[in-house]
Amino acid sequence: MTDLDNQKPLDSETVSTQPPADPTGQNIPIYTRPWLLRGLNGLIVFCFFLPFCNVTCNGLSVLPITGVQLAFGGNVGGDDTFASASSFNIFALIALITAIVSLGLFFMNAYKMRIFNIILGSLGALSLLALYIQLKLTNLSQYGRNNTDSDSLLGTSTIVSLNFTASFMLTLLLFGTITTLSYLLYRDKQNLA
CA 111 to chain centre: 22
- pLDDT score of 138: 76
Would you say 70 and 125 are in contact if contact means Cβ atoms under 8 Å apart? no
- pLDDT score of 47: 94
Cβ-in-10-Å burial (0-12, 13-18, 19+) of 186 comes to middle
The ranges of the chain with pLDDT < 70 are: 1-27, 75-86, 109-112, 139-158, 193
Bridge-based pairing state of the strands 51-57 and 160-164: antiparallel
Instruction: DSSP letter for 32, please.
Output: G
- pLDDT score of 34: 72
- pLDDT score of 29: 72
From residue 88, give the alpha-carbon distance in Å to each of 55, 74, 76, 81, 168. Answer: 17, 8, 11, 21, 17
User: pLDDT by residue (tens digit) across 28-71?
Assistant: 777 777 788 888 989 999 999 999 998 888 778 788 899 999 99
Tell me the DSSP string of 109-141: T-GGGHHHHHHHHHHHHHHHHHHHHHHHHS-GG
- pLDDT score of 2: 55
Task: Using a cut of 0.75, tell me whether the model's pTM lies above it.
Answer: no
Alpha helix segments (H runs only) across the chain: 3-6, 34-47, 67-72, 90-108, 114-137, 148-154, 166-192
Q: How many Cβ atoms sit within 10 Å of the Cβ of residue 176?
A: 15
Instruction: DSSP letter for 44, please.
Output: H
